[in-house]
Amino acid sequence: MLTLDQIRAAPKVLLHDHLDGGLRPQTVLELAHEIGYRDLPGDNVEELTRRLTEGAHRGHLEIYLDAFRHTVAVMQTPDALRRVAAECAADLAADGVVYAEVRFAPELHTERGLSLDEVVDAVLEGFRQGGEGRGITVYALLTAMRTAARSLEIAELAVRHRDEGVVGFDIAGAEAGWPPSRHLDAFQYLKREDFHITIHAGEAFGLPSIWEAVQWCGTERLGHGVRIVDDIGIGPEGAVRLGRLAAYIRDRRIPLEMCPTSNVQTGAARSIAEHPIRILRQLQFRVTVNTDNRLMSQVTLSSEFHRLAEEFGYGWSDVEWLTINAMKSAFAGFDERLRLINTVIKPGFATARALSDAVVPVSILGSHHHT
């Protein structure tokens, strides 16, 4: 059985992580103090952590999302955004992540007068500072809120910053009643600009949301995508039948950015044991494993892999397969993806395997006893 420490030491790739969902509680307290934000639900790390994570156990996406009010409130100045982004990069590197795409919605960070461009500049600068010398590459995905009407503006913003570290565009927020096709002009613009698209779809709402994201909006990846399992039938003898949409997504290798713990907390899956990731992995969909919101869900990428290892008996070959899936699915250029797979990820897993296969712990090998 893989241990958490072993998994932490292996190189990992993260495609679905929200900047405003991953703050250090101590930082939230300090930033709130600095800007005079008095609405925090707790005044020490323990209490604040408890209150920011309690919504995660109520089985509903909207309740889960309430905690973000407080993290977003303290992310309204260039200094705060730089700090949060730098700490994000450092925390991910400490967890063994070698490549990450972290998403945030610039329109939520302009309450104190920052322009959208200033928001993006501050976050990108933070990623650079926090990642320096730590063996991690962190790029940004810009998210538009599907309940607002600024998606074209955010798409243009993303393309403006494409050479500074923004690698893609996303839409997020309440799914039901807010279909991605409402934002068609943004997606068409991104296509014309040869830019990358991922869409939150198939989490709180089912197959129509996934179908629209793929066939109308041209998404390259699906944020969550768990409900694709509704299009897969399993017969009494274990025979599997894929519906048209599921077959298309598998055939085209459309990546699923799966976030198991978060899906259980928002009610998208009943438990880790029953999470669709297991069957989707068995059917060789392009599955990837992600954190979603490290603070609210109290997870790391290593802890997500460890839970899957405990629940499904995943070993190194599974973790490596899922990691290479993620790297193949990243929005970095092809050369960069290939370089990371061949010079960082594969050698890193070879080392991890060798260390865990050692018959005697490496530490003992130093003392030789001759009979």
Just list the catalytic residues. 203
Distance CA 100, CA 272 (A): 23
How far from 39 is each of 42, 67, 283, 293, CA to CA, in Å? 9, 11, 47, 21
* Token pair belonging to 167: 């690698």
Structure tokens at 51: 């209150």
Neighbours of 271 (CB within 10 A): 10
Nearest to 72 by CA among 28, 29, 133: 28
How does 149-173 read in b/e, with b if 16+ C-beta sit within 10 Å?
Answer: ebbbebbbbbbebbeebbbbbbbbe
H/E stretch holding 230 reads none
Pair 101, 331: CB distance under 8 Å? yes
**Residue 295 DSSP label:** T
- Tell me the C-alpha distance between 122 and 106, whole Å: 11
Alpha-carbon distance values, 250 to 245, 281, 301 (Å):
9, 11, 24
DSSP 94-132: HTTEEEEEEEE-GGGG-TTS--HHHHHHHHHHHHHHHHT
The two tokens of residue 333 are 């250029």
Q: Are 302 and 96 in contact (CB under 8 A)?
A: yes
